[in-house]
Structure 1
Amino acid sequence: MNIFIPLVLGLLIGRLFRDRLKGSVDTPMSVTLLLLIFFMGVEAGKTDINALSVLLLSVLFALLTIAGSLGFAILIGGGRE
């Protein structure tokens, strides 16, 4: 489903009825967001992965990213204090 269709429809309805819509949408948005996060967790839980290898690769990627950023900063900055 295209995500932009409901987004544009909500935008149009909000703009057309902005004077008539007095209620708050904070609570329905919070409930919807929590349901979205819950169902994303359910979908993630259904996948069969080796969590230890994913963890190790994620940590390695994070360390290499940090090292690359520091190296680039030293290269650009010239090591000056």
Structure 2
Amino acid sequence: MRIPGDFSNIAGIYNKNKAVSKIERIQDVKGKKDAVILSDRARDYQIAFKAVHQIPDIREEKIRQLEEKYSSGTYQISGKEVAEKNIE
């Protein structure tokens, strides 16, 4: 079936309407903001996580004492003690 006539105007109107509705949707989204609400348990976990990461990985005082003993020649440890600690 053939329908006579020029339909380019109709397509143009349709495309303009589509563009306007897209702009309206973008403006609706711009005004909204996401929000995150943490539970008390999550806040406690976050505080504990930060506290654990502030603790140094090594015990600096213990390392300093061992360095002093080693450099002065008073550091004595048996192979058996080392093996026992490795097994633990």
Normalising by structure 1, report the TM-score.
0.32
Task: Kindly name which structure, 1 or 2, has the bigger radius of gyration based on alpha carbons.
Answer: 2
Q: Normalized per residue, which structure has more helix?
A: 1
Normalising by structure 2, report the TM-score.
0.30
